Amino acid sequence: MAKERLGILASGRGSNFQAIMENIELNVLENVDAGVLITDNPEARALEVADHYGVPHQTIEPGERDKEEYEKEIHEILREHDVSLVILAGFMRIVSPYLIENYDKKMMNIHPALLPAFKGLNAQKKALEYGVKITGCTVHYVSKEVDSGPIIVQQAVPVKEGDTVGSLSRRILVFEHRVYSKAIQLHADDKLTVRGRKVKVDADESWKEDWKRREKGFIEHQEKALEEGKVVREIK
Ligand code: GRF
């Protein structure tokens, strides 16, 4: 099977991108590598992550161009790097149909809520204000409507008494860092079939066991940092 080559689009902190790179380094993710990071923000921490892991990167700002022109440049770069799967990881722009059509079922996003609840920005704040007792995170294929594509993986996370947006966001982020890689591995292993809104996951018991065993390596790595109070790990 050809290696799944990721093209990551990120605007800021890049902790999901970092977790994916850690999962590659720890051999949790198999048959997956990162081809390029594209950011729209020259100040993005994600650039430091890319440098650390030796992932080529490009900073592309839209400037005065219209969206399609901007995305044509992004597309060109993704092609130059042989990207087979686009990963939106905190990319703060709405992707237009141009790019979505070019990466139909080959573009994923992570959202910090249990979709279809709390779409759009500030999902954790919306969940708190609504008073839900359980929220979480969702990895989905990207479709033309924002945060509405077919759902691949979801993870529930409890809301606790006294939570702030910060504490809830951190609790969710721990699981974002796990489930994004799981969704990528399922895709890379050809375990996902999309029919309309539904994603059929064809992972048998042996796949699940194998994933659990490998994922343990990442969880241990994550827990070490969590003991020091770090959900976003230092880049080292
Ligand atoms: C994450 O909470 C993700 O769910 C949302 O944007 C945030 C990005 O964080 N789409 P990071 O840049 O990956 O640290």
Q: What is the pLDDT of residues 167-176, one digit of tens each?
A: 999 999 999 9
Nearest atom within ligand 1 for CA of residue 111: 4
Q: How far apart are CA 235 and CA 150, in angstroms?
A: 32
Nearest atom within ligand 1 for CA of residue 176: 4
Tens digit of each residue's pLDDT (9 = 90 or more) over 27-75: 999 999 999 999 999 999 999 999 999 999 999 999 999 999 999 999 9
- Report how far ligand 1's centroid is from the alpha carbon of 83 (Å): 21
Q: Is 112 in the pocket of ligand 1 (CB under 6 A)?
A: yes
Tens digit of each residue's pLDDT (9 = 90 or more) over 85-98: 999 999 999 999 99
111 is catalytic: yes
Q: How far apart are CA 68 and CA 212, in angstroms?
A: 41
